[in-house]
A and B are shown apart, each in its own frame.
Chain A
């Protein structure tokens, strides 16, 4: 199975293509404002039509191809074949309904199951995401659950219809590390059990290393680097990827000054022409006013930089 998306709204997401194979976790990494969440929303068809224009783009799930520019995704797709979980589980669950009813609603909407069938399915799903006492939990309200538990409920709801694609937007960012480890374990187990493809959005490179098979680094709405996760970590090509990696306060070099990415992400209106990273890039030159193409530098490893690999094209003298 493959999923493909070409989106180009004026600026926000600029010719982004993603692909996630069955049973694979693809991580999209980047800082706030890099367009990673918008890309996911566009995939799900969640962007309001009056304020957003998708000027080109296709979505392929299995054998079916949908033109994202034309109309909204058919209902059978959203929520059943592609499902999404969000960062803050408290705001995405309805506080006024019991969690059992919320999961059942998702099941009945898509499968036409009867209420008892849906209830049984919901109970089964809660069991699968590791919630103890599922038959009682069905009757509880979201506020009675802890943050980690709510995220498990969200995952149960998303997976209730056996989706082929799961999009997870920062699913562990709001959680504590011990709970984050539990949720990552859960996502990994479910992926192995269901062979679904997962697109996970995160800004934490540690999480990426933990769970991803492949990684896409985005900056300013463009893909700057893409490849298998080990390959990108061992052989980072784009200056932004390198900057992000060296800015992580790691456990290995305490006290030392961190290398930084100077400045901040420009707003979409002020985005420079050509390579969008050039205003913050230490290696930028006149050539960078032209947009670099995303080209293959090693097997399956693509990078959009005029000067990759850096050491062959750039010398730095102190």
Chain B
């Protein structure tokens, strides 16, 4: 196996509601249906899709919080989808999770010091109390909190600070890989930017591999190296972020990108907007699962399931029967056209927030 690959999923399937008894006939929800992917060491890998596409289930499968119905998950070349006990504990040490909601994922009755020390107690029980305290302070500093924050309770912190505590907890065991399920979507824009910067710094400084689940394409474009687009439990397109965003091949990816409201004003390409809504994963359409909403669907799409295949180079794969023949939709350039004035003020602002010295000329001095 490739040394570069840290996490690999091979044809992973997760169906829920299989254990229906003789009285209840629960429909089977095909949350994840045959997903294969590789995450490379040190990269930031993103999984994007709308609600109900199975991205969170996939994250939990990769993390071994769920066991797959079939298929394998390999971490560092080791099969992890069925391990238990001590082995699982070691895995948890190498792989950590950041949750979406910083309000419900921290125990309100524990101080920050206890919250961050908890994973240390489990993964490094040999550490003396004093060393542990020092390590907690170090972790808090790393995520941009101060040492005196250690004795406070979660309710005393804002959403962004709580997310930082969550990140400190995830870092405590010294993981190689962190999976974040919508780590910034509950935060306000200005705070979101702080956390995105923090995650970027950490992955660079500590050589972490990040797997980010998100629905915000702006966040993904900004953070990730490679991206997988999911629709109804399957990957429809996978490739480098650059390729997928500049040359989207799958009609669903094209529709997603066209639907992002742009700062340039109302330029959204309404012809590319898909109609209707995602069908239920308990009764997915046959063939290509997107065919019910696809503007290019043909008879073949309704019967035959398309497989991921390379388009131009091996790194960019798409699951569409007509990926080669689809007319390339002319997309308006994604680069925001900012005016010169705005550009100059952004530069001024950036300089000032990054520690430049600010001198004021009083307004009265102006002619």
Contacts and interface: CB of A to CB of B under 8 A. Distances in A.
Interface in A204-250: 204-207, 209-211, 229-230, 233-237, 239, 242-250
A31 B361 contact: no
A260 B188 CA distance: 11
B286 to A, nearest CB: 21
Contact of A205 (B196, B223, B263, B341): B263
Interface string B24-67: 00000000000000000000000000110000000000000000
A71 interface: no
B261 A247 contact: no
Chain B residues touching A, range:
35 or more
Contact of A259 (B265, B350, B355): B350
- Which range contains the number of A residues in contact with the other chain? 35 or more
B5 to A, nearest CB: 22
A262 B223 CA distance: 20
Given A181-B273, A185-B273, A205-B263, A283 B363 contact: no
A310 B345 contact: yes
Contacts of B265: 209-210, 229-230, 233
B259 A177 contact: yes
B193 A249 contact: yes
Residue among B222, B339, B344, B353 facing the most chain A CB atoms (10 A cut-off): B353
Nearest to B219: A249
9 contacts: A32-B188, A233-B263, A252-B334, A261-B193, A310-B345, A310-B349, A311-B348, A315-B358, A316-B356
B260 interface: yes
A260 B197 contact: yes
Interface of A: 31-32, 146-149, 176-182, 184-185, 203-207, 209-211, 229-230, 233-237, 239, 242-255, 257-262, 264-265, 282-283, 285, 287, 306-307, 310-318
Contacts of A306: 363
B51 A249 contact: no
Interface in B188-228: 188-194, 196-197, 200, 215-219, 221-223
A245 B346 contact: yes
A176 B252 CA distance: 13
B352 to A, nearest CB: 4
Nearest to A237: B345
A20 to B, nearest CB: 18
Contacts of B345: 236-237, 242, 310-311
Contacts of A210: 261-262, 265-266, 268
Contact of B221 (A247, A254, A307): A254
Contacts of A312: 361, 366
Given A260-B194, A261-B190, A234 B261 contact: no
Contacts of A31: 188-191
A314 B348 contact: yes
Contacts of B350: 246, 259
A233 B240 CA distance: 31
